[in-house]
Amino acid sequence: MHIILASQTAEEVSTFNVVGDLKGSEHPEQVVIVSGHLDSWDLGTGAIDDAAGVAVALEAAELMQQLHLRPKRTLRVIAWIDEENLGRGHLEYAKVHAAEIGQHVAAIESDLGASHPLGFRAKISPEAAARLQPVLEVLRPSGANLLLLSSIAHAFAGTSIKPFLPDPEGRVPLPHERDVPADIGAGASLSSADHLIE
């Protein structure tokens, strides 16, 4: 077997999270984050991991605007930086927002591609999961009502807020596959993901 690895660590550069808010009507101080991340790695183009997640988060806010819906809490759309390596984007966010972190009600990241979502993986207590049952019932007709609980001890890398579970039918290529076209997220699967996140 002959393997050629072309990976390299480039010089450090300054980069920034991209953040936008839709202010809440009743509790603007309370924040719900919907997000994806900007960086990619390996052989992939970043189309699935995670341009699709950024598109889903942006589209959630766009749909609210188009439908003239104003959230009760502030909807904060974030495109994280450095999710793949050290997670400096979410670490810096937590540092900058330390004083109001208790006002963050939920943090959602779409990071598992653009296929039809099956549900959520949540880092919450079983008691808190019961509060999500009405949401899961609304999502049942779309087939996106699966809820898997994950403990803090089994934290994910990166921002650790991964909501969508991959479609087992594998209709979308793996996130780090070589030559995934940059527009792979376009179409029905991505549309179903952003309707779920709204």
Q: Which residues contact 59 (CB under 8 A, 6 or more apart)?
A: 190, 194, 197
What's 155's DSSP letter? P
Tokens 């579970």 map to which residue? 165
Residues 6+ apart with CB under 8 A from 146: 118, 119, 120, 165
Q: Which two tokens stand for residue 137?
A: 């019932």
Catalytic-labelled residue, pool 29, 59, 62, 83? 83
Cβ contact 90:160 at 8 Å: yes
Token output for 167: 């479609």
Which residues make Cβ contacts (< 8 Å) with residue 179, sequence separation at least 6? 43, 45
**Residue 12 appears among annotated catalytic residues:** no
Cα dihedral: 170, 150, 125, 104 (round 10): -80
Amino acid, res. 190:
L
Which positions are catalytic?
Answer: 83
